[in-house]
Every structure is written in C-alpha cells, then in structure tokens.
Amino acid sequence: MVHFGLIGYPLGHSLSPRLHTAALQELKLEGDYELFPVSPLPESARSFGELFERLRSGRLNGLNVTIPHKQSVIAWLDELTPVARSVGAVNTIFRKQERLVGDNTDVPGFIADLKEVMEHGGRSAEPDPKPCTFHALVLGAGGAARAVSFALDYIGWSVTMAARRLEQAEELVKSMKLVNAINQEITVVMLNQSSIGDIKSEIRLVVNTTPLGMAPNVDANPWPNGLTFPQRALVYDLVYNPPETALLRAAKAAGLYTTNGLGMLVEQAALSFERWTGQPAPRQAMRKAVTVI
C-alpha cells in the first residue's frame, strides 16, 4: 500500500487527487492520495514536523507541494535536484534511501507540454523557425513565472517578463542570476499597453503565469486593455479552470493558436508519480480523469 499526498493552502481547487488516483488504478497499485491543507509557516511548524516525520518513516511515500510552500519546504529537506536548486522551488518530494529529496517537475512538465503543443499546430507560421530566434513574453513575476522563465531560457528562448509590480520582477530575475539559473539576460517590463507594445512585433509566445482568469474570477484578463495581440504568437495560459479563460478567448478571436495549462498539470503530475513509483505514468488515463472539470 502506497501513500502520496499534497501540501499547500488552500487546496479545495486541487485536481491532484483525480490525477494520482487514476494513475494508481490504471497500474493496479494499491494506494491513496491525500490532501494536507497546511497554513503558512511559522504557525504551521507543528503540522510540517508531523508530515515530514511520516515521510522519513516511510508512512508517506511521496509528497507534492503547492502554494505557499514551494520554497518553505526546502529547509526541511536533505537534498535538492539540480532543477529544484536552480529554480529555488520544490513541487515534488521523494525518498532516496534515508534522505528526502526535493525536485521540481513543473519545469520539465512545461517544456514537454510546450513541445507537444508546438508540434501539433502551435508553431509560428514562419518557415522552419528555431527556438533561439523566438521571443517569449511571460506575464507575472511569481513562482510560476520563475519556473516558466527558467524553462524557456533553458531551451534557448529569449524571455521578457512583464509584471504590474516592476520591482518584484526585477528581484525575481536578480535572484535567478545569483544562483546561475539563467543562461541569457531576461528583460523586465511593466505589464501595460505601452511597454508591451514596444516589443510586440518580436513576440512568438505569450505565457500567462498569473491567476487572473481562474475560477471564480473568470472575467479577469491579464492582457492590457486596448493592446492587440502579437501576430503568429502562441498564447499559453497556465490556468486550466475554466478550460478557456478570458485571455484565451480574446487570443482565439484574434486568430491565434491557444492552449491552457491542463497539459502541463498532467505532465508534472506524471513526472512526480514516476519519481515515487519508478514506473511509467499512465498519462492518457490521468488526462482523461481531469479533462472534464
């Protein structure tokens, strides 16, 4: 019997139980997936201690981590994978002998899904484009923006980060440079019509990493009012509930190829499952379990 779970707060919206229960059932593994709604540190230190004791004793075989704990759990771990260390955030914890290892499957999950999307219609209309000739615009400056920017830089994209709070984006990029997490310069601009308009002609990919448009605030849109979309760009919204956000509807109406974050959600979960079990994850069954939200 294997036991997995998710730590974060709040967790009422999480689809992780559906994903991992489907994987366990498909592979005929006896086990379960539990939600652990733990409030932010320091007031939750006792709950943290109890949960990590379960991990160390083997009573819990693997743990996913979400907001607001992706950075705070690092102090409780023995080791980080190179990706988790570079990104400075953990979303998966697994046991290696007697050690607890923190990993980040958001990065390879995003890369794998982006590749899949581009191979099936999301590629620019330009002839045989190469990633290094592409310019990506990342909306937001939180933890998801950090993972996405790292991933895009890693596979050779030029990246601009747009945020409503410029100082937050500047601090994020600075912290990534300090740990040598990026290979090339990530530029930072205000998330407004004027700043994005100046670079719009270069953009071939827009990635929304903000929660704007997520249920229940489905009418919120991070794209600046009055600004047309870049031509030939792929618009990728990490939000997957609702399946089509206000951003994606507007981009689709402008004739652009769009995708939501469901593919990344499934892929990062599949990679976590593989870390825990050592078995190939049944991605088709996992996707089917969350396709209808």
Sign of the CA dihedral running 246, 252, 258, 263: positive
The residue behind tokens 């990029």 is: 173
Angle between helices 106-117 and 143-154 (to 10 degrees): 60
Asked if the peptide bond before residue 10 counts as cis, ω within 30 degrees of 0, the response is yes
Tell me how far apart the alpha carbons of residues 92 and 108 are, in angstroms, rounded to a whole number.
12
- Degrees, nearest 5: CA angle 183-268-184: 10
- For residues 193 and 224, is the Cβ–Cβ distance under 8 A? yes
Do β-strands 99-103 and 92-96 pair in parallel, antiparallel, or remain unpaired? Answer: antiparallel
Residue 235 pairs in a beta bridge with 206, 258
- Degrees, nearest 5: CA angle 24-104-55: 60
130 in active site = no
- For residues 137 and 108, is the Cβ–Cβ distance under 8 A? no
Task: Say which of 70, 115, 200, 252 is annotated catalytic.
Answer: 70
Instruction: Give the phi and the psi of residue 261 in degrees, each rounded to 5.
Output: -90, 10
Catalytic residues: 70
